[in-house]
Amino acid sequence: MKFHFTISLQQRLALTYVLFIGAALGGLSLAINFFTARTFNALIKENISGKSEEIVRVMGDLYNPLVRNFDGPAVEALGMHFVHEGYIVTVEDRRGEPVWDARSCDMEQCVEIINDIAFRMERDFRLKGGIEKQRRPVLYNGRTVGTVNIETYGPFFYSETETRFLRSANRILLIAGAVLALLGAGISIPLSRSIARPVLRAGEAARRIAQIHSIQAVSDPSAGPSSAGADPGGLVIRIQDQYKTRELRDLSRSINDLALELEEGERRQRQLIADVAHELRTPLTCLQGNMEAMIDGVYTPDREHLESCHEEIMRLSSLVADLNILANLEGPLREPGEVLAGPGEGEKSRNLPRGGPAGLNKTNFDLARLVQAAAEQFVPAVREKGINLHLDLRESPVIADYDRLKQVFINLLSNAVKYTDRGSVCVAVTGAKTPGAVWDVTVADTGIGIPEKDLPHIFERFYRSDKSRSRSTGGAGIGLAIAAAIVRAHGGTITAESPCGEGGTLFRVRL
């Protein structure tokens, strides 16, 4: 049985901070001890050397030139003083005869002092050494009058005062380290919590989004909110995204964008089903009424009533064919691409991203001739309405699906002619005939225009800026969605512009 140990992000961050602070404090303490010890030891060695010179100088001051010898009682007094400081002193005259010897005077005390120094250095400072001897001459008026032998614990030793100082310094460092460690832990815990909290919120929001989305996916979208426990407003999940840390702010905003996009997707899915049901209901109701009337003998199955049923069947067939086109063109995976720059100031546009599935029957042809062929189908309609049709075309070779693109411009021209009662419809092809050329086809009219609030939605399925007029003219609100899907499948973009308050609409297809 395998045991998997897990730790929360907050605990990991707090532990990381504490370990980092501990390691930093430990390293800092070691560095301070190392450099302080080196400096302090150098100072101690210098002090020992200075003390030795002081002993020689003081002993030289005790030389009496009248008797040509040292002041014995004074030498003994100073010698015992130096013994207590850790210096075993022996003074000899110029003949090498001992004037005073600390070991001969009090051997037991000298041994005890040296052993105490050795024990203190080994116990407290892990420094081992031994007895080191120095032999220095005593000079008087430039001539040697005696010798001073100095024995000390070497290479150096700490006096009791120096030992107390070092102990106090180490104790202060330990206390300061403990205090800083506690402060670091106290700071790291709320800091790690402040970092982990947004991540936990984002994770919780993502789980809620996935749970709600899965519930809605298995429920009947056309049913009410009670279906399978789904809540149509359940994806309205937002988390705080006003963080000063850029990564946390980006993460929170990404979750909010995801929730918004899924919410919009759910709304469009439900709207699509409702729109399809509405578009199917009208012809099916008409067919049902006619068929029941003929079955009941109210209507006779004559040509007029059969033609009425046939029209409704053709309307259903056209709707199903349009939906099938959209299903073929709009695959579930579309690679995003660049978006064309929007129109100038005062204009509104709807830009659609590039990308789309394959499956197009691409051939080489002249885009201008395709546009002309599509425009010729509307010559009778523009004459009947008394408007003008202007074509500004130039040779524009492309590799594309001829029939699909022709359907695009037929749909655009159909809308332009339908909603233009006076003025003109202008179609133009622009671009440079170069390798990898980009061609722009514009369809502009002087009709009623598109309201500003409708521009962002005109390429959505079943969307109508004027629902009553669209139904009266037989449109299902799917033509521009098909046009956009075909252009997208070719890797192009389609935009719509309608200057505020001026009327008229301009569609631009870029291939």
H or E stretch covering 186: helix 160-218
pLDDT band at residue 211 using 50, 70 and 90 as cut-offs: confident
- Which pTM does this prediction carry? 0.47
Span 151-205, pLDDT tens digits: 888 777 777 787 788 778 878 878 887 887 788 777 777 777 777 777 777 777 7
Two structure tokens written together for 510? 């870029």
Q: 503 or 416, which is more confident?
A: 416
**Helix (H/G/I), strand (E/B), else coil: 72:** helix
Tally the residues of the chain: 511
Residue 104 DSSP one-character state:
H
Q: What is the mean pLDDT of the chain?
A: 77
Q: Is residue 190 part of a domain?
A: no
My answer on whether 37 and 163 are in the same domain is: yes
Domain-ending residue, one of 332, 364, 390: 332
Beta-sheet strands, E only, within 58-157: 63-64, 69-70, 88-93, 98-101, 130-140, 143-154
My answer on whether 97 and 138 are in the same domain is: yes
Q: Is residue 192 part of a domain?
A: no
Q: How far is CA 5 from CA 2, 8, 27, 199, in A?
A: 10, 10, 30, 20
Percent over 70 (pLDDT), the chain: 82
**Residue the block writes with tokens 């702010």:** 249
pLDDT band at residue 429 using 50, 70 and 90 as cut-offs: very high
Domain-ending residue, one of 151, 182, 213: 182
My answer on whether 109 and 27 are in the same domain is: yes
CA–CA separation, 391 vs 386, rounded Å? 16
**Residue the block writes with tokens 């308050």:** 501
Look at the alpha carbons of 103, 106, 108, 112 in this order and tell me if their dihedral is positive or negative.
negative
Residue 307 DSSP one-character state:
H
Number of Cβ within 10 Å of residue 296's Cβ equals 8
Beta-sheet strands, E only, within 141-263: 143-154
My answer on whether 268 and 352 are in the same domain is: no
Ranges 219-223, 242-246, 338-342: which has the least confidence: 338-342
CATH of residue 349: 3.30.565.10
pLDDT of 423 over the 50 cut:
yes
Q: What angle do CA 205, 210, 214 make, to 5 degrees?
A: 150
Q: Return the axis-axis angle of helices 102-125 and 72-84, rounded to nearest 10°.
A: 10
Residue 319 DSSP one-character state:
H
CA–CA separation, 246 vs 252, rounded Å? 10
CA–CA separation, 42 vs 436, rounded Å? 79
pLDDT band at residue 440 using 50, 70 and 90 as cut-offs: very high
CA–CA separation, 188 vs 177, rounded Å? 16
Domain-ending residue, one of 332, 356, 373: 332
Q: 220 or 384, which is more confident?
A: 384
Average pLDDT over residues 206-230: 58
Q: Is 210 left (phi over 0), alpha (psi -120 to 50) or beta?
A: alpha
CA–CA separation, 122 vs 2, rounded Å? 50
My answer on whether 346 and 313 are in the same domain is: no
Beta-sheet strands, E only, within 111-222: 130-140, 143-154
Q: Is residue 351 part of a domain?
A: yes
My answer on whether 343 and 323 are in the same domain is: no
CA–CA separation, 298 vs 211, rounded Å? 54
Contact between 389 and 378 under an 8 Å Cβ cutoff? The reply is: yes
Concatenating the DSSP letter of every residue in 468-480 gives HHHHHTT--S-HH
Q: Is residue 187 part of a domain?
A: no
State the total domains in the chain.
3
My answer on whether 163 and 111 are in the same domain is: yes
CA–CA separation, 58 vs 52, rounded Å? 10
Average pLDDT over residues 433-452: 86
pLDDT of 144 over the 80 cut:
yes
pLDDT of 234 over the 60 cut:
no
Contact between 487 and 326 under an 8 Å Cβ cutoff? The reply is: no
Residues in CB range of 268: below 8 A, 6 or more apart: 460, 461
Average pLDDT over residues 226-254: 63
pLDDT of 236 over the 60 cut:
yes
CATH of residue 141: 3.30.450
Closest CA relative to residue 317, chosen from 360, 287, 359: 287
Q: Is residue 135 part of a domain?
A: yes
My answer on whether 253 and 320 are in the same domain is: yes
Domain range enclosing 274: 221-332
